[in-house]
Amino acid sequence: MKENLREILTGGQTFSWKEEEDGLFSAVLNEKVYRIRSLEDASSDAYLREYFDLDYDYEKAMREIAAKDEILRAAVESTGLLRILKQDHFIATISFILSQNNNIKRITGLYDRFCRAFGHEVEPGYFSFPTKKELGNVSAEDFRALGCGFRAPFLVDAVSKADMLDDIESMDFDSAMNALMTIKGIGPKVASCILIFSYQKREGFPMDVWMKKVMSTYYQGKDKSYFSPYEALSQQYLFSWIRESSKKA
């Protein structure tokens, strides 16, 4: 089954990528501008190979998820092959704080303004995500002026605690969740997203309004353990499927 690159890059895992008019997807990562049309374009680059988790057998995982029940089979068949990204810890943490109470389109716009305001230009018109150092002296008022709203003090706290993010790599899932939730404004859903899409802790299962709808409608009485050992990837399939299904309803 063909990989659904558009859903991987624009479906809520990351807010770094833009779809260009010529069909290419572009992002500023690792101090350079990447432009890809398919994952074949990423296979020869060491950074992108790890970023897209190209050495994990997602085809096997997809088949086993589809065999679980008819809802997951429908989700897999309608979505195509998905992957779990492995993003920079700091970028993912700040990004998912920005994502709170927001939709993907607005988050992506805020992410872009964030890069232009506080990052640096890598190529004409392409700005990096700001580093911890670049955000070190940014105040809550500065964040509010950019449109970050109630998230502003959370961002200040996250920047001040950024040194702890590397330590989370070696923690088990529950310890990692607890560590992330010491940052102001990070609750279970945001912490779970960060752990999945940056640390690749695959037992994460974030519950937003879409997933609450899926679970209450199709999986009453079940929790994330039903989807083991593919909790995070199953969640991505269900999240993509329910959003698309709602558009067609």
| Residue 248 reports pLDDT greater than 90 | no
Indicate if the pLDDT at residue 249 is higher than 70.
no
- Residues, the chain, total? 249
Q: Quick one: pLDDT at residue 23?
A: 85
Structure tokens at 210: 């879409």
Radius of gyration for the alpha carbons in the chain, expressed in angstroms and rounded: 18
3-state SS class at 35: strand
The pLDDT tens digits of the residues spanning 179-194 come to 999 999 999 999 999 9
- Is residue 81 within 8 A of residue 56, CB to CB? The reply is no
On whether the CB atoms of residues 51 and 86 are closer than 8 A, the answer is: yes
Instruction: Give start and end residues of each alpha helix (H) in 121-200.
Output: 132-135, 140-146, 152-160, 173-180, 188-197
The predicted model scores a pTM of 0.94
pLDDT value for 51:
97
pLDDT, residue 119, reads 97
Looking up residue 93, the CATH number of its domain turns out to be 1.10.340.30
Q: Is 96 exposed, middle or buried (0-12, 13-18, 19+ CB in 10 A)?
A: buried
Question: Domain range holding 211?
Answer: 5-85+205-248
Within this chain, do residues 98 and 190 fall inside the same structural domain, yes or no?
yes
| Residue 163 pLDDT greater than 90, yes or no | yes
Q: Please give the structure tokens belonging to residue 159.
A: 């920047």
The CATH number covering residue 27 comes to 3.30.310.260
Does residue 23 or residue 247 have the better pLDDT?
23
For 53: left if phi > 0, alpha if psi spans -120 to 50, otherwise beta; the answer is left
* pLDDT tens track for 88-127: 999 999 999 999 988 888 899 999 999 999 999 999 999 9
Q: Over 90: is that where the pLDDT of 169 sits?
A: yes
pLDDT for 103 = 84
Residues 109 and 173 in one domain: yes
Instruction: Give the chain's domain count.
Output: 2
